[in-house]
Structure 1
C-alpha cells in the first residue's frame, strides 16, 4: 500500500503528491522543517519540536501555514493513515509559491508538507556496536540554530564519511567540533565529565540534546557545555551523539582512533536506556 502524505490541505498517495515548481523551498531553499520520533504510535517530545519550529519561523520572518493545534492534528492523522508504530514524522514549511525573486514575496501562502518514515529506532544494531565518525570541515552558513531545509552541506559531510568507511561526520570549525552532520556531538572525559558545545548560532538547539542533559543532571553526572577539539575527542573515554531519529547513539571510533575498548561505554549506554524510558513514558 502506498504511503499517504499531506500536502497543503490534502492527504494523498506519495506518487500523487505535488507542489508548485515556483515554491520557494524548491527555488531558494527558503523553508524550515522539524521531525518528531514516533514510539508506540505516539509523538516524542513534540511540544519542544513545535517550539523550535516557531523559533525557526520567527527568525526567518515566515508565517504559519495553519495553527499549532491543526498541525498536531495533521501529524496524528498522517501517523494513523500510515499505521506507524515506530519511526518518525517530518514536516516542512516553506514561504510558499511566488515568481522567482530574491526578495521575499508579500502575499505568498506558506506551504506545508508532512510525511512519515516507519523504521526501528529503539532496537537498532548501532546501539550495541557503536558508530564511527570522521571529522570534516564545517562549511555551513552561520545560522545553524535555524532548522532550515538547506541540507546540502550536511549531505556532503555524510557522503565524505561514507566514502571513508565511517558512519557519520563531526564538523570542525576553527579547530573545534561544532556538531555532527545531523546531530549534536558529545564526549565523556576520562574523569566521567560529559562535554558538549554550548548553545549559540553555531549549532542546532537539539531537542534530544536538551532532554539528555536534563537526564544527566538528574543522575548526578558532571556536564560541561564548552567547545572541544578533535584531539580531546580522541583521548575521551566515551563519545555519543543525540538526535530525534537516533536518540542517544554511542560513538566508538573517531578518525580511526578507537575509544576505550571499542564498544559502547557505560555512561552513553545508560543515557540511551534512560532516554528511551523517558520517551516512552512521556510520548503522547
Structure 2
C-alpha cells in the first residue's frame, strides 16, 4: 500500500508527490533535514529536533515554511495516516525553486521554501537484534565542509563512507580529522574507559545530536562520568567499550574498529544500560 506523504501543504500518495526540477535542494543541496523517531505511535524528542531545525534554517538564512505547532500536527497526521507504531519521519526543507538555476540566493521573503515529509515504517526498531551483537566500523578521512553542525542535505560523502565500510566488510565508518575522530557517517561517536564516557565536545566540527544530548543527560543523571573531548582511533581500539548514538539507532554498541576488537569484542554494560535508559525515558516523554 502506498504511503501518504506531505509536500508543500498537501497530503498525497507518494506516487503523486512532485518537486520542481529547479528546486535548489535538487540543484545545489541547498536544504536542511531532520529525522524523528516514532515509538508506540508517538514522536521521540520532537522539541529537540524542532529547535535544531530552527537553528539550521537560521544559519543558512532560510525561511521556515510553518510554525513548530503546525509541524507537530503534520508529523502526527503522517503517523496516523500511515499507521506507524515504530519507525521514523523524515523532514526536508529546501530554499525552494525561485526560477532558473543561479548560485545567488533568492530573497527569502519572496521565495517560498519547499517542505517535504515522509514516514518509514520500522517494526522492531527498539528491539533491534544488532544492538545485542554490536557493529564494526572502519576509519576514513573526514573531508566534509566545515559547518557540520548544520544538518544539511549534503550527504554524498557520508553515503560514500557507508559504502566504503560495506566494501570492507564492516557496518559503518568513523570520520577522522587531524588524528581525532569527529563523528560517524550519520551518528555521534563515543568510547568508554574505566567507566568514563568520552565523546567529542560540541563545535562546528560535528552535528549537535539530539539523541546525544539526551543520552549524556541520562548518563549524568545515572551518576555516570562524562568527559567531552576528542579521541583517536588508537585510543578507541584500546577502550573498554565504544558506541554511537543517533535518532534511528538510539544507542548502538561498536565492537570492532579497523579490524581490532574493542574490549571483549562484545557489547559492554555501559552502552547496554544507556540504551535501556534512553528507550525507557523516551517512551515516557514521547508525544
When normalised by structure 1's length, the TM-score is 0.99
Superposed CA offset, 1:87-117 (max 9, x none): 0001100011122111101221001000000
Q: Secondary structure at the match of 1:93?
A: strand
Q: Distance in 2 between matches of 1:236 and 1:134?
A: 16
Map 1:1-284; keep pairs closer than 5 Å: 1-98=1-98, 99-106=100-107, 107-119=110-122, 120-189=124-193, 191-284=194-287
Q: Distance in 2 between matches of 1:171 and 1:5?
A: 33
Q: Distance in 2 between matches of 1:266 and 1:76?
A: 35
Q: Secondary structure at the match of 1:18?
A: coil
Structure 1 stretches of 4+ with a deviation exceeding 2 A read none
For structure 2, the 5+ residue unaligned runs are none
Q: Distance in 2 between matches of 1:53 and 1:21?
A: 24
Superposed CA offset, 1:111-165 (max 9, x none): 1000000103211111110011000011110000000011001001000001001
How far residue 260 of structure 1 moved from its aligned partner, in angstroms, is 1.8
How far residue 261 of structure 1 moved from its aligned partner, in angstroms, is 1.7
When normalised by structure 2's length, the TM-score is 0.98
Q: Distance in 2 between matches of 1:124 and 1:167?
A: 15
For structure 1, the 5+ residue unaligned runs are none
Aligned residues: 283
Query: Which shows bigger deviation, 63-72 or 41-50?
Result: 63-72
Q: Distance in 1 between matches of 2:265 and 2:237?
A: 12
Q: Distance in 1 between matches of 2:93 and 2:214?
A: 25
Q: Secondary structure at the match of 1:38?
A: strand
